[in-house]
Structure 1
């Protein structure tokens, strides 16, 4: 019985939420958890990369475009696509839609304010 329980938990992809605004990050994490996904958090791209280096179970990155630090969410998404090709990527922004050429292959863009239903649909599409 324990084997099937472990398998079931590991079959659900872990989501890394990368958002610099604490309240938005907590809200997104709650939404992801309520949708049935394990979740990890990062406040910027540098922290996200450190987590990705040590967490092979992360299968989806949900990142805000506009973040302080060494890179924004689009640069993070491009780096994730390059270094970890199997990881699915969802980028969000409240400052307009980025140019299509700046969004990595297979990545999805969701405008802010985020619709809970759209986030859940995006996660289920990837998970």
Structure 2
């Protein structure tokens, strides 16, 4: 559903089921502008650990973290990462991401 929301807003989306898959996609591409992750995900790495790994390897990459059950505590999000609580409205998600990343139709 999130992929559809973001594609409808004009973003190109690459989906990953686990953090390791997300890191493999990031390793193989140079055209990814942001990472959106849930805190709770399958596999051996949480979304917070993924956010930290992304920040370490791609320091300028915007990271947006979400969860419906877990709220990050002070200092748990990497510098520059943002959090949006579930449930959120599609417009809220797009607006939050838009603040972190220029819209694809803006020419930036």
User: TM-score, length-normalised on structure 2?
Assistant: 0.89
- Given the alignment, which residue of 52, 55, 58 partners 2:29? 55
Whether 1:66 aligns to 2:66 is no
Answer yes or no: is the 8 Å Cα contact 1:89–1:106 preserved in 2: yes
Report the structure, 1 or 2, having the larger helix content. Answer: 1
**Could you tell me which residue of structure 2 aligns to residue 111 of structure 1?**
85
Q: CA RMSD in A?
A: 0.9
- Tell me, in whole angstroms, the C-alpha distance in 2 between the residues paired with 1:87 and 1:47: 17
Answer yes or no: is the 8 Å Cα contact 1:45–1:73 preserved in 2: yes
Which of the two has higher C-alpha Rg?
1
Q: Which blocks of at least 5 consecutive residues in structure 2 are unaligned?
A: 102-108
Q: Greater relative contact order (Cα 8 A, min sep 6): structure 1 or 2? A: 2
Secondary structure of the residue that 1:121 maps to in structure 2? helix
Report the structure, 1 or 2, having the larger strand content. Answer: 1
Q: How many residues align?
A: 101
Q: Which blocks of at least 5 consecutive residues in structure 1 are unaligned?
A: 1-26
Secondary structure of the residue that 2:84 maps to in structure 1? strand
User: TM-score, length-normalised on structure 1?
Assistant: 0.76
